[in-house]
Amino acid sequence: MEHKPPLLEMTGITKRFPGVIALRGVSLTLHQGEVLALMGENGAGKSTLMKILGGAQSQDEGTIRIDGKPVVFENVRAAKQHGIALIHQELMLAPNLDIAANIFLGGERKTLLAPLPRGEFNERARALLARVGLERPPTTPVSELTAGQMQMVEIAKALALDARIIIMDEPTSSLTAGESEHLFAIIRKLREEGIGIVYISHRMEEVLELADRITVMRDGGYVGDLRRAEATHDKIVQLMVGRDLSGAYFPERPRSATQEPMLVVENVIVPGAAAGVSFMAYRGEILGFAGLVGSGRTELMQTLFGVTPALGGTMLLENQPYSPQNPRQAIARGVYLAPEDRKRHGLVLPMTIAENTSLPNIASYARFGWLDRATEKRVAEAEIARLRTKAFGIAQKVVNLSGGNQQKVVLGKWLAMNPRILILDEPTRGIDVGAKAEIYRHMAALAADGITILMVSSDMEEVLGMSHRVAVMHEKRLRGILPIEGLTQQRIATLMTGGKGAQAA
């Protein structure tokens, strides 16, 4: 082999955010015609590293070299000019424009007022679509495409810019099995054309099938590299987690849930779902919900919380009829939700910890509408002490807290109100390892107190480590509820992706 410098070399990349160091001296190398899988738990720093490579953020320290030459990316445009294309997990397409317009968006012309060369665009778009194997006319509006087809448009967009490095962030998270296969074929083709691909994924089978090399990150640091030949499932997990998962990380589960039903869900129809969902959750149980992104777990939780009221079916909460039409009614019955997107749905970011903690409950300890700030302060202080929230005090604005501490504020606001059912949607997403372990401990303690926890999680280790039983969803249906004893990741994954092999328990 000739001694050519690698296509991409990132060395000593460090990035700080308020309250956390997202990256500590991370290095990454990518060669021409190579598929590099980047792996790590949520919050390991993969996305931040890729945002830096894509020019969306700038590193505080460290250098990026392309073909051995140091480069600095002021912005996304500069990164694109160096042939770097980032395909986000949530696709960045304008649904109101057609395929060709999306492919050439931002690369149209020299002057803003020149007429759009539509004919030329359509011609070039057709060629690009043929390269990625998408058989739709370039004039099709993007809103008519499936998730998999949109992914192809994203790739075509990258190719239109003559990208030499394509970063894909969890590209299969919303694809069907068939679409994923198609994507893999395209990736292999691109590799043969000499394009370097950074592939971020949590799905072990994909990575083992596709990657030439695997780089593992943990807690914002570089942990190690594995060649394809030496990589195994266990080795990767060991590098990613760095410890025996069943040990110190997850707390002892409360012996067992009672057999006393807390919530009985009978044929409840979630808006947007074709069929009803039925299950039962017991007092003191942690019921995990596994499934792919888009499998309908979050929607089910929102229906249980009254955000999108059920279209049919019945529910019983502690043997009393329960059919919340809005969150107010759910909260009145002691059913609380810590939402998936806590910045959007969980917190009023410009408000203080105290104000966020008291928000759902403040009316109950006000007298004639007059705010009772003394009680508010006492409650908030009790909650940050109980959850060990790291803050200067209850008067700190929530926007300045780290993700883990923000999640603790969300939890604190509900814990102050004696929950019956606590719905936790991705409770530890984007949270550092330390805070994660603490949240797990609190969950176990709450369950031991007889609170029922419904936990939606895409983190398989978390589902296996915390749940008493695991409900698996696929395409808006509940595929089965499996007791944790003897349950394997494999078995959940099979059900999650639409495979058979387990009966509803």
Partner 1 sequence: MKRETGMGVALLAMCVALYASNPDFLGASNSINTFRQISMLGIFAIGTGFVIITGGIDLSIGSTIGLTGVIIAKLSSPSCLGLSLWVGIPVALGIALALGGIQGLLITHLGLQPFIVTLGGMLLIRGVSQTIADGGTLSLSGSPLLDFANGGYVQVHGAALLPYPLVLFLFVIGIATYVLHFTVYGRYVYAIGGNRDAAEYSGINVRRVEASTYLISAGTAGIAGVCYASYIGQMSQQVGIAYELYAIAAAVLGGCSLRGGEGTVLGIVIGSAVMRVIDNGINMFQLHYVDTDQVPRIWRLNPNWTYIIIGGVILVAVILDQTVHLVQAKRRIRAAGALAEAQKAAQTAAANDAAAKSGANGPSAPPPPVVTPPHDPPGQQGDQP
CA dist list (Å): 106 to 81, 103, 137, 161, 386: 12, 9, 21, 10, 50
Q: Which is nearer to partner 1, 319 or 326 (CB)?
A: 326
- Give the number of residues in contact with partner 1, rule: CB under 8 A: 59
Distance between CA atoms of residues 371 and 375, nearest Å: 9
Q: How far is the CB of 113 from partner 1 (least distance, A)?
A: 28
Scan residues 412-431 and list those touching partner 1 (CB under 8 A).
413
* Cβ(283)–Cβ(448) below 8 Å: no
- What is the 8-class DSSP label of residue 393? -
Distance between CA atoms of residues 166 and 203, nearest Å: 19
Q: How far is CA 415 from the centre of its chain?
A: 24
Q: Which stretch binds partner 1 (CB under 8 A): 115-123, 197-205, 326-334, 448-456?
A: 326-334
Q: Identify which of 411, 405, 477 has the alpha carbon closest to the alpha carbon of residue 446.
A: 411
Q: How far is the CB of 391 from partner 1 (least distance, A)?
A: 5
Q: Which is nearer to partner 1, 326 or 418 (CB)?
A: 326
Backbone angles phi, psi at 334, to 5 degrees: 85, 20
411 binds partner 1 (CB under 8 A): no
Q: Which is nearer to partner 1, 130 or 332 (CB)?
A: 332
Q: Which amino acid is at 489?
A: Q
230 binds partner 1 (CB under 8 A): no
395 binds partner 1 (CB under 8 A): no
Q: How far is CA 70 from the centre of its chain?
A: 32
Residue of the chain from 19, 33, 62, 450 that contacts partner 1 (CB under 8 A): 19
4 binds partner 1 (CB under 8 A): no
Residue of the chain from 400, 416, 489, 498 that contacts partner 1 (CB under 8 A): 400
Residue of the chain from 53, 337, 421, 460 that contacts partner 1 (CB under 8 A): 337
Q: How long, in residues, is the chain?
A: 505
72 binds partner 1 (CB under 8 A): no
Q: Which stretch binds partner 1 (CB under 8 A): 114-122, 172-180, 385-393, 444-452?
A: 385-393
Q: Which stretch binds partner 1 (CB under 8 A): 286-294, 314-322, 347-355, 460-468?
A: 347-355
Q: Which is nearer to partner 1, 36 or 301 (CB)?
A: 301
Residue of the chain from 60, 225, 266, 318 that contacts partner 1 (CB under 8 A): 60
* Cβ(338)–Cβ(424) below 8 Å: yes
Scan residues 116-175 and list those touching partner 1 (CB under 8 A).
none
Q: Locate tokens 């176990």: which residue?
A: 444
H/E element holding 17?
strand 8-17
CA dist list (Å): 355 to 103, 339, 410, 469: 45, 18, 11, 35
476: left (phi over 0), alpha (psi -120 to 50) or beta: left
211 binds partner 1 (CB under 8 A): no
348 binds partner 1 (CB under 8 A): yes
79 binds partner 1 (CB under 8 A): no
Q: How far is the CB of 337 from partner 1 (least distance, A)?
A: 7
Q: Which stretch binds partner 1 (CB under 8 A): 63-71, 129-137, 291-299, 349-357?
A: 349-357
Q: How far is the CB of 323 from partner 1 (least distance, A)?
A: 16
Scan residues 189-208 and list those touching partner 1 (CB under 8 A).
none
| Mutual angle of helices 147-160 and 177-192, in 10-degree steps | 10
What lies within 8 Å, CB to CB, of 460 at 6+ separation is 202, 290, 489, 492, 493
Q: Which stretch binds partner 1 (CB under 8 A): 173-181, 199-207, 273-281, 328-336?
A: 328-336
483 binds partner 1 (CB under 8 A): no
What lies within 8 Å, CB to CB, of 156 at 6+ separation is 99, 103, 125, 128, 129, 131, 132, 134
Q: Which is nearer to partner 1, 132 or 456 (CB)?
A: 456
323 binds partner 1 (CB under 8 A): no
322 binds partner 1 (CB under 8 A): no
Q: Which is nearer to partner 1, 76 or 349 (CB)?
A: 349
CA dist list (Å): 460 to 67, 314, 426, 470: 38, 30, 11, 10
Scan residues 240-299 and list those touching partner 1 (CB under 8 A).
241-243, 248-249
Q: Identify which of 291, 352, 359, 285 has the alpha carbon closest to the alpha carbon of residue 328.
A: 359
* Cβ(461)–Cβ(451) below 8 Å: no
20 binds partner 1 (CB under 8 A): yes
Distance between CA atoms of residues 505 and 497, nearest Å: 19
437 binds partner 1 (CB under 8 A): yes
Residues lying near partner 1 in the complex (CB under 8 A): 16-21, 24, 60, 218-219, 221, 223-224, 239, 241-243, 248-249, 305, 307, 326-328, 330-332, 337, 339, 344-351, 355, 359-360, 362-363, 366, 369-371, 384, 388-393, 400, 413, 433-434, 437-438
